[in-house]
């Protein structure tokens, strides 16, 4: 029996950057009755609040919920009626400038020019710099068809890796590339969660849609967690239902 169930967010609990559907919110509330729950993803806290925290039904036991923005370099818990940061590991200004310059050079070198963009393409999330190929506000239908096999982002990722030694560069969501400190990935974040929560890694189960080499969920498998790969939120609902049935 697992004591903590950890989830990726985009593509697993919800469509890219979209709020949880009501059915998923209810399913998580049911799951919180039998286990602690964590959500780890590349988005910053405002995105987590929009997608997850504000979408849970009143009955959900928020005390058992661990929210981990920016690939786990931040941790939020709900205490005394409000969400608060437990920790946050931030880039300094010099590191940020170096990363932003590398993005500019890499996009020019790889010749990547999207036909259309929606909003800013590079976002400073404090502990993570994120490149969204089609822009932060791109519609889901455009995201889904842009790079479904990760081929386009692998080219940019390879170029950035040569320009930013000592940093972690991972593909996330449907169109994103996330840059964090060296060694920072979901495996790192889940180890930090084990320290903060008191739950050992073997007491956790991780569920995500990108559990494959090069996918940003794969580090969870690499650190030895039991994992379940899902295709989409609908399959996640089925997995959650099975877990609840087994835990009760």
Annotated active-site residue 30? The verdict is no
Q: Is 10 annotated as a binding residue?
A: yes
Distance, in Å, from the CA atom of 21 to the CA atom of 224, rounded to the nearest integer, reads 30
Q: Which of 8, 36, 147, 185 is catalytic?
A: 8
Which backbone phi and psi does 113 adopt, to 5 degrees? -135, 105
How many residues are there in the chain? 248
Q: What is the DSSP letter of 113?
A: -
Residue 30: other Cβ atoms inside 10 A: 17
125 is in an annotated binding site: yes
Dist. CA 164–CA 241, nearest whole Å: 42
Of 122, 120, 124, 117, which is closest to residue 139 (Cα–Cα)? 117
> In sequence order, what are the residues at sequence separation of 6 or more whose Cβ sits closer than 8 angstroms to the Cβ of residue 115?
none
Judge whether 10 counts as a catalytic residue. yes
**What are the CA-CA distances from residue 33 to residues 28, 59, 207 (Å)?**
9, 10, 18
Which of 10, 147, 159, 185 is catalytic? The answer is 10
CB atoms within 10 A of CB 90: 15
Which residues contribute to the annotated binding site? 8, 10, 125, 176, 178, 209
What are the catalytic residues? 8, 10
Which residues contribute to the annotated binding site for alpha-D-mannose 1-phosphate? 125, 176, 178
Which residues contribute to the annotated binding site for Mg(2+)? 8, 10, 209
């Amino acid at each position: 029996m697992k004591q903590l169930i950890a989830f990726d967010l985009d593509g697993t609990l919800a469509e890219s950057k979209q709020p949880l559907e009501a059915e998923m919110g209810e399913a998580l509330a049911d799951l919180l009755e039998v286990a602690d729950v964590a959500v780890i993803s590349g988005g910053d806290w405002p995105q987590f609040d929009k997608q997850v925290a504000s979408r849970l039904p009143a009955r959900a036991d928020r005390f058992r919920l661990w929210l981990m923005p920016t690939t786990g370099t931040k941790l939020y818990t709900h205490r005394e009626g409000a969400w608060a940061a437990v920790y946050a590991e931030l880039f300094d200004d010099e590191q940020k400038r170096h990363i932003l310059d590398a993005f500019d050079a890499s996009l020019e070198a790889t010749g990547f020019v999207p036909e259309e963009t929606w909003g800013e393409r590079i976002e400073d999330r404090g502990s993570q710099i994120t490149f969204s190929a089609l822009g932060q506000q791109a519609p889901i239908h455009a995201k889904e068809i842009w790079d479904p096999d990760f081929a386009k982002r692998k080219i940019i990722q390879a170029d950035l890796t040569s320009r930013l030694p000592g940093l972690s560069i991972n593909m996330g969501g449907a169109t994103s590339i996330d840059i964090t400190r060296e060694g920072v990935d979901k495996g790192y974040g889940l180890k930090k969660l084990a320290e903060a929560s008191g739950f050992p890694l073997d007491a956790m189960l991780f569920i995500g849609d990108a559990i494959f080499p090069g996918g940003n969920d794969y580090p969870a498998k690499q650190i030895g967690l039991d994992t379940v790969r899902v295709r989409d939120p609908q399959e996640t609902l089925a997995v959650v239902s099975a877990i609840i049935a087994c835990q009760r």
